[in-house]
Amino acid sequence: MSLHPEAASMLEALNSGFPDVTTVPPPELRDVIRSRRAPLQHLPAMREVHDLTIDGPGGALALRIYRPESTEPELPVVVFAHGGGFVFCDLDSHDEFCRSMAEGVGVVVVSVDYRLAPEHRAPAAHEDMYAALEWAADNATTYGGDRSRIVLAGDSAGGNLAATVAIAARDNGGPAVFGQALFYPVIDDDFDTESYRKFGSGYYNTTKAMKWYWEQYAPDGTDDARVVPTRTGSLAGLPAAVVITAELDPPCSSGDDYAERLAAAGVRVRHRRFDGLFHGFLTFPSLSLTESARQEIWKMMRGLFD
């Protein structure tokens, strides 16, 4: 492991400043995290941004749609689920990231404000993401999107939702999914992998926190492919994938393994592990290493459409 000095400095700040999520009631935790955010800068600028509400399986479901500047009449569509341990974060927490993705990949991004745990347990978030996919397939053209090129994407817990919805769409005859992009995804609840053993504490995201997230989201178990993608009978026939992992992240080994399983099942996979980086690094634009990583990932995502 080679830890960049700037990454080490940021890890020190995160370890000392981020709350112990296991000690704070979820509603209060959301308020604490929200209070620490900088005001939205609305950058990079988009051609259009729309906030709207659709009918979801649990009631009103909020979406935010980003359309970048482009001369193309129809752009591919990314349906995106934010991270946050299934418990916190929202449309605003990932606003800058979605804008960067829309501009960098050249896509319309549909960001999904899915229901959060523990008030809404699994598979509520999965169901909301699936509803957003269906909505995008029916309405993407209204916002300059190409319904024949829809990619499911998400970071952390959102990566889990993207992966499980790709499986559900395949199995249930749902909308055609062109690709999936999983950023340091939370694939399963196996806490005995190499990365959990090596990096389970001291690297911002911890084993203790990950166990707590799973307890909030799936207290009744994880033997369901809507909760853990590897519970499906087969990964064959899934859409092409971009899988991004971070070396210092406890779920890293599971993400690496999932990329290997997809490839073994005949799925076209682009996999990149970023050594010396930690969980969530893509949503820290102040980290100088982040922009170059993003540009590499945006290129990988553009490759999905080749």
Q: Give me the active site residues, please.
A: 156
Residue 80 pairs in a beta bridge with 111, 153
Q: Which runs of E-coded beta strand occur in the chain?
A: 48-56, 59-67, 75-81, 108-113, 145-155, 179-183, 240-246, 269-274
Residue 18 pairs in a beta bridge with none
Dihedral over Cα of 148, 69, 180, 269: its sign: positive
Find the helix or strand (DSSP H, E) in which 84 lies: none
CB 10 within 8 Å of CB 248: no
Residue position matching structure tokens 């598979």: 123
45-49 — which CB contacts under 8 Å span 24+ positions? 45/69, 45/99, 46/99, 46/102, 46/103, 48/143, 48/144
d(CA 294, CA 282): 7
d(CA 36, CA 19): 11
Q: First CA to last CA across the chain, in angstroms?
A: 34
d(CA 167, CA 239): 9
